[in-house]
Amino acid sequence: MEESTRGFIELFWDDLLKEDILDDIQWIPAAIPISSMRELAIGYAIGFFAATSSSIGGIVESKKHEKLKKGFEKLLWAMIKRRLPEIVEKVERELNR
């Protein structure tokens, strides 16, 4: 992954973590039974980060070789794993307001 792409994705994530994650999913418990709002919110955030970042990376690096794309996906998941504590902390702050 090019450094400029990685930097753009990190800035995008920083902006996402300023938003209220729970606002997007408040309707779900009324629609279907869930066992944990915390786990739902964390899963939603991880999925959202992965999907949007994969799309960004796919667009930016679409002309590159397939092997590079697989490397991009591996690095993307490593980036998400590194930021997971920050995601969990954000969700827990929102749940405890």
Calculate the average pLDDT of the chain. Answer: 81
Please compute the mean of the pLDDT values over residues 57-78 and round it to a whole number: 67
Please compute the mean of the pLDDT values over residues 52-62 and round it to a whole number: 70
Asked whether the whole model's pTM tops 0.85, one would answer no
Give the CA distances from residue 74 to residues 37, 68, 81, in Å, rounded to whole numbers and listed in that order: 28, 10, 11
| Locus of tokens 């309707």 | 27
- Please tell me the predicted confidence (pLDDT) of residue 70: 65
> Taking Cα atoms as reference points, which of 94, 97, 96 lies closest to residue 21?
94
Please name the amino acid found at residue 61: E
Residue 63: pLDDT band (50, 70, 90) is: low
Please give the Cα distance from 67 to 46 (Å, whole number). Answer: 24
Where helices occur in 1-97 by DSSP H, the ranges are 3-16, 21-25, 28-31, 37-60, 66-95
**What contacts 37, CB < 8 A, 6 or more positions away?**
22, 25, 29, 95
pLDDT over threshold 80, residue 25: yes
More confident call, 73 vs 81: 81
Residue 35: pLDDT band (50, 70, 90) is: very high
